[in-house]
Amino acid sequence: MSDAPPPVLSTRRQPLASVRLGWAVVLALAAGAALVAVAATRRSQETPTDPPAPPAATPAPAVMNPLWPTATSPEPREKRKIAAPELTGGVAWLNSAAPLWIHDSFNPLVERPSLRGKIVLLDFWTLCCINCIHNLPDLAKLHKKYANQLVVIGVHSPKFDSEKSTASIRKAILRYQIDHPVVNDANHALWDKYECDAWPTLVLIDPEGNLYGYTTGEGNYELLDIVIGRLVEEHRQKKTLNETPLRFDLAKYRETATPLYFPGKVLADAKGKRLFIADSTHHRLVVTDLTGKQQAVIGTGLPGKKDGKFDEAQFDDPQGMALRDNILYVADRKNHSIRAVDLSAKTVTTVAGTGRQGEPEERRLNRPIPAKEIGLNSPWDLLIEGDKMYIALAGHHQIWVLDLKANTVMPYAGTGAETLRDGALRAACFAQPSGLASDGQRLFVADSETSSLRAVPLDPDARVQTLVGRGLFVFGDRDGPGRDGDEDSLTEARMQHALGVTYHDGKIYIADTYNNKIKVYDLATHKLTTLLNGRPFGIFGPMLLNEPAGLSYADGKLYIADTNSHRIVVWDINNRVFTPLKLTGVEPPRRPQEPINK
């Protein structure tokens, strides 16, 4: 986990296939573009193990892969072609009616449609990874620009156990609005064939079915655009480019409209007797009373960034919220901004962020910056204490603080390195913090990629502590003490990609998202126990919860964003009664007509 440039081939793990030498030769000889300036914009990647740091004297690779020719390099004198491994080994295909093939069949008696003549971009991703999520808009832009020449294929190679499920991946495709085919590489067969070791990894295949190049991490749009453009021109001249558009059977065309669509967070206002619901993939906010009766809908339902009145404002994947007086603050995730909803004036304004994604170097800021002059990076949750608003910046792997009086923002906790480390505020490390709660003395953080619960002091001289969890690749589903020995403990509590937290009366309630459970951590006993099992009858029974991502407490009840079930559910803590919230007066937004195929 680092923001370092992609490791050179000599630092990668031992090859799993005999093609490594030829793969390296192809990369060394393939025609490329000089993209030093582009590479400077690269962002982080997630790797199963930390790659060795390159020697200080070694210049960082500045192009699509470590061996592309640079501006001063001569054109290659020869080329060796290595056929891309076939796309076999996945357990299911989504957004496609049938499996896709790179190569024609070698058996003349077997007919199968191949991608011969198309430029193919493989995106090795996993649905939990923020870097992978950040890549999706770039892939959509490339797909649109090169609609007749390029086929993007997502290869979903899971990190967490729950991500092996085809049903879970299908939900992610809908939630992230992915319009390209995806193969479920549940057993990492394709990951191994292509010798990947980082999420995300992007592999480019030319129209003749040969490996052309790869890159890792996010922020590679300009690089890929130039290289794909060059491939288009080269293969037009060779008459090896198929420019007939392909149509795919997208999952979204089989969905029926629901009042809510992947609600990510919920905020209960006991004093005002109302609920604020982040209707995330409808790109709007819904306000109801505590019984579910609609009071207001904020936003058009179309993704965008626009301030103004409730019926004209636009959001893009809104997530966590915080209420102060009659102002509702919203983490506008894909807009990398904080929005303020004036519930009296019925208007929306932007209070932090520029609309662009923040840069990696901004993680090291040590002074306040005017809040509307700096980009944020996937804000996922908010919490207000006094005049300070704390922001879970999932994309920066940090907690930031917005001074509501001075209108300034700066990092509060975390170095920006994606890992788990306790210590002083600016020396500690987080990994995609996604939920915030507080007891007035500490912030409690759902640190999702480490499947952990962290405690962040409001006292700037105190230290960050981990209450549950051990690291990026230590996860599971177990009740028990939060810490008991080491990561190999057989009794220590485990969670799996927890996204939400709320606090009440000495207890922290946690949305243990990938375990489909609500758990509670007792600050007195330091133990984690299951409060609500989303699969009480096992894997063959009905699901009470499907990847819950947010929760909020009010008047003895937990209000839970049951994200993949498109609903809010209520758990009465004292009476132990589970009730789906019946919404009245809430309709799905109207959509403009979409073409059958993009």
DSSP of 413-439: E--S-BS-B-EETTT-BBS-EEEEEE-
Coil, helix or strand for 290?
coil
Q: What's the pLDDT score for residue 311?
A: 96
Q: What is the location of CATH 3.40.30.10 in the chain?
A: 9-253
List every span in the chain annotated with CATH 2.120.10.30: 256-580
Tokens 């004093």 correspond to 271
Per-residue model confidence (pLDDT) at position 541: 79
User: Is the CB of residue 321 less than 8 Å from the CB of residue 331?
Assistant: yes
Q: Tell me how far CA of residue 166 lies from CA of 126, 170, 171, 263, 523, in angstroms.
A: 12, 6, 9, 21, 37
* pLDDT tens readout for residues 563-598: 999 999 999 999 999 999 999 999 999 876 554 444
CATH superfamily label, 256-580: TolB, C-terminal domain (2.120.10.30)
What is residue 109's predicted lDDT score, i.e. its pLDDT?
Answer: 61
Q: What is the pLDDT of residue 106?
A: 64
DSSP assignment of 116-150? TTSEEEEEEE-TT-HHHHHHHHHHHHHHHHTTTTE
For the chain, report the end-to-end CA distance as a whole number of angstroms: 35
What pLDDT is attached to residue 108?
62
CATH architecture of 9-253: 3-Layer(aba) Sandwich (3.40)
What is the pLDDT, as a whole number, of residue 537? 81
Indicate the burial class of 152 (C-beta count within 10 angstroms; 0-12, 13-18, 19 or more).
buried
Residues of the chain with pLDDT under 50: 1-42, 49-78, 595-598
Per residue in 264-285, pLDDT tens? 999 999 999 999 999 999 999 9
Peptide bond connecting 85 to the previous residue in cis, omega within 30 degrees of 0: no
Element at 340 (helix H, strand E) = strand 337-342
Residue 3: other Cβ atoms inside 10 A: 16
